[in-house]
Amino acid sequence: MVVSVRVLVVGGGALGQVFGLRLAQAGGQVSYLVKPGQSGWQREGRVVYRLRRTGPPVARRLVPERVFTSPAETAGQDWDAVWLCVPSTVLTGPWVDELRDHVGAATVVLIGQDSQDLPTLRRVWPVEQIVQAVPTLLAYAAPLADEPLPEPGIAHWVPPGAAVAVSGARERVDPVVRALRRGGLRARNAGPVGTGDALAALMVPHLAALEIADWSVPALLANPRPGAAAAREATAVVAALHGRRPPAAVVTAPWLASLAFRLLPVLAPFDVPRYLRAHFTKVAAQNRLMLDGWIAAGRARGLPVDQLRRLRQALPAVG
| Mean pLDDT of the 281-309 span | 95
Instruction: Report the run of H or E that residue 303 belongs to, with start and end.
Output: none
Q: Is the pLDDT of residue 240 over 60?
A: yes
Both 232 and 255 in one domain: the answer is yes
Q: Is the pLDDT of residue 48 over 60?
A: yes
Specify the pTM: 0.93
Is 1 a domain residue?
Answer: no
Is 199 a domain residue?
Answer: yes
Q: What is the pLDDT of residue 83?
A: 98
Q: What is the pLDDT of residue 75?
A: 95
Both 124 and 29 in one domain: the answer is yes
Instruction: Report the run of H or E that residue 120 belongs to, with start and end.
Output: helix 117-122
Alpha carbons 279 and 139: distance in angstroms, whole number: 9
**Bridge-based pairing state of the strands 46-50 and 153-157:** parallel
Both 167 and 295 in one domain: the answer is no
Alpha carbons 174 and 167: distance in angstroms, whole number: 10
Which CATH number fits the domain that encloses residue 86? 3.40.50.720
Is 78 a domain residue?
Answer: yes
Q: Is the pLDDT of residue 115 over 70?
A: yes
Would you call 155 helix, strand, or coil by DSSP? strand
Which among 137, 171, 189 is the end of a domain? 189
Cβ atoms 10, 70 nearer than 8 A = no
Q: What is the pLDDT of residue 101?
A: 95
Q: What is the pLDDT of residue 2?
A: 46
Both 64 and 133 in one domain: the answer is yes
| Mean pLDDT of the 239-249 span | 91
| Mean pLDDT of the 218-224 span | 95
| Mean pLDDT of the 157-180 span | 95
Which among 155, 189, 223 is the end of a domain? 189
Residue 10, Cβ density class (10 Å: 0-12 exposed, 13-18 middle, ≥19 buried): buried
- DSSP tag of 302: T
Closest C-alpha to 27, from 181, 170, 171: 181
Both 212 and 169 in one domain: the answer is no
Region of 188 on the Ramachandran plot (φ > 0 left; ψ -120 to 50 alpha; else beta): beta
Is 319 a domain residue?
Answer: no
| Mean pLDDT of the 185-199 span | 83
Both 141 and 245 in one domain: the answer is no
Q: What is the pLDDT of residue 3?
A: 53
Is 61 a domain residue?
Answer: yes
pLDDT tens track for 73-86: 999 999 999 999 99
Asked which of 6-15, 190-199, 221-230 is least confident by mean pLDDT, the reply is 190-199
| Mean pLDDT of the 115-139 span | 93
Is 82 a domain residue?
Answer: yes
Looking at per-residue pLDDT, the higher value among 170 and 37 belongs to 170
Q: What is the pLDDT of residue 191?
A: 79
% of the chain residues with pLDDT over 70:
96
Q: Mean pLDDT score of the chain, rounded to an integer?
A: 92
Instruction: Indicate the number of domains in the chain.
Output: 2
Both 121 and 173 in one domain: the answer is yes
pLDDT tens track for 247-257: 999 999 999 99
Both 163 and 219 in one domain: the answer is no
Distances (CA, A) of 65 to 26, 40, 77, 152: 14, 13, 12, 21
Both 212 and 166 in one domain: the answer is no
% of the chain residues with pLDDT over 90:
81
For 301, the domain range is 195-314
Both 155 and 57 in one domain: the answer is yes
* pLDDT grade for 242, boundaries at 50, 70 and 90: confident
Asked which of 43-47, 66-70, 257-261 is least confident by mean pLDDT, the reply is 43-47
Q: What is the pLDDT of residue 145?
A: 82
Would you call 297 helix, strand, or coil by DSSP? helix
| Mean pLDDT of the 277-298 span | 93
Both 160 and 209 in one domain: the answer is no
Which among 189, 204, 237 is the end of a domain? 189
Both 141 and 180 in one domain: the answer is yes
| Mean pLDDT of the 108-136 span | 93
Alpha carbons 38 and 91: distance in angstroms, whole number: 19
Contacts of 273 (CB under 8 A, 6+ apart): 215, 216, 217, 265
